Amino acid sequence: MELKSKNKLHGGELSFYQHLSKVNNCSMGFAVYLPPQAQTHQVPVLYFLSGLTCTEENFMIKSGAQKYAAEHGIALVTMDTSPRNLGIEGEDDSYDFGSGAGFYLNATAEPWAKNYQMYDYVVHELPEIIEQNFPIQTNSSSIFGHSMGGHGALTMALKNPGKYRSVSAFAPIVAPTQNDWGIKAFSGYLGEDRSQWEQYDTVELIKNTQNKMPLLIDQGTDDEFLEAYLKPELLVAACEANQHPLNLRMQQGYDHSYYFISSFIEDHLVYHAKYLKSD
C-alpha cells in the first residue's frame, strides 16, 4: 500500500491509500478513518459504497460521518467506484458506464472482465487488506451506500449471509434490471443474458433469498432520479410479498445529494453501531 495522505479528524485519523488490486489487475484507491479508540484496541468497521462518478474521497469529505464514527468507536472504509485510466475504449465516454460506474459487480463480458471485478474487490479483497493492516475486529463489519453504492451494499449483504452485521442505504438503485442505468451497465458488463443480471438486483434477490436481514433505507421525496431510476415502490412490494423486514423512510424535500446524506448520516451510524457493538 502507498499512503497518499493522512489527517487528524475528531481525535482519529483519516488516511488515503493506493494499492495494486489482484482481482482488478490494476491500481485502486481506498480511504480509512480510524476513530480514536483504535489507538488502544481493535474496532468494528463500516464500509461505505459511493454512487456514480464518485471516488473514495466524496464520502470522507462531504458526509460528516467521522464525527459519529469517533463517538461510537467505528472505523470507516471507502473505495473508488471502479478501476480507472486503463485505456479501455469507451471507459470515459459517459458518467454511467466505465470509469466511476463499476456497479459493484464482477464483469464477465469483454473488454471489462479483466479489470471490473468490483464485487470481489469489495466483498473479499479489500476487507482482507483492511483486517491485515489496521486494528479491525474480524467478523464485525457492516455495509451501506448511496445510489449505485446503495445497490451494491444491499446486494452484497443479501448475497453473503453472516458476513455483514447490518446494511443500510441512501437512495439506492433497487431494481437496476428495470431502469436505463442498470440495463446499460449490465448489458455492457455481463452481456445480454438477463438471467445473469438478477444476481445483482435487490428486488430479485428479495424474491429468492432466505436471508431476512433488515433493510434501513432513506429516500428523498425531491430526488431528481426517484421515478425514473430509483423506484423504491418496487422494493416495498417485494419486501411485503416476501415478508422481508424493511424500514423505508421517505424524507420530505430532500434530493439526491450529499446534503441529503449528511442530514441523516448520524441515524445510520447509530443504526450500525447497535449491530456492530452487540457482543
Annotated active-site positions, please? 147, 223, 256
Closest listed residue to residue 32, CA positions, set 107, 157, 132: 132
Three-class DSSP category at 76:
strand
Joined together, the cell numbers standing for residue 81 give 467506484
Helices (H), the chain: 57-62, 65-72, 118-120, 126-133, 148-159, 180-190, 202-208, 232-241, 258-276
Cβ atoms of 223 and 232 within 8 Å: the answer is no
Cβ atoms of 153 and 143 within 8 Å: the answer is yes
Max Cα–Cα distance, the chain, nearest Å: 51
Cβ atoms of 73 and 277 within 8 Å: the answer is yes
- DSSP for 109-136 reads STTTTTT-BHHHIIIIIHHHHHHHHS-E
Closest listed residue to residue 127, CA positions, set 30, 38, 2: 30
**How many angstroms separate the CA atoms of 235 and 201, rounded?**
10
Joined together, the cell numbers standing for residue 15 give 488516511
User: Which run of H or E residues covers position 7?
Assistant: strand 2-9
Cβ atoms of 228 and 180 within 8 Å: the answer is yes
